[in-house]
């Protein structure tokens, strides 16, 4: 899946699942971080893969 995140008032992304995990592990993102899942026009996630 592809994600966007907000940091210091700016939106970043899209990033894939593993990059999102890396950002959490590095402390860039935390419990209070705004994270948004990219969806297609039908409202479904844009990718069919799921994080493990």
Tokens matching residue 38: 């990219």
Q: Which residue has 């893969």 as its token pair?
A: 49
pLDDT value of position 39: 83
- The answer to whether 30 touches 21, Cβ cutoff 8 Å, is no
User: Tokens representing 39?
Assistant: 């969806």
pLDDT in tens, 1-40: 899 999 999 999 999 999 999 999 999 999 999 999 988 7
Neighbours of 19 (CB within 10 A): 13
What is the span of the domain harbouring residue 23? 1-52
CA distance 23 to 5: 10
Alpha helices in the chain (DSSP H): 17-25
Into how many domains does the chain fold? 1
């Amino acid at each position: 899946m592809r994600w966007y995140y907000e940091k210091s008032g700016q939106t970043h992304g899209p990033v894939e699942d593993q990059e999102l995990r890396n950002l959490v592990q590095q402390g860039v993102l935390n419990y209070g971080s705004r994270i948004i899942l990219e969806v297609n026009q039908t409202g479904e996630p844009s990718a069919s893969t799921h994080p493990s």
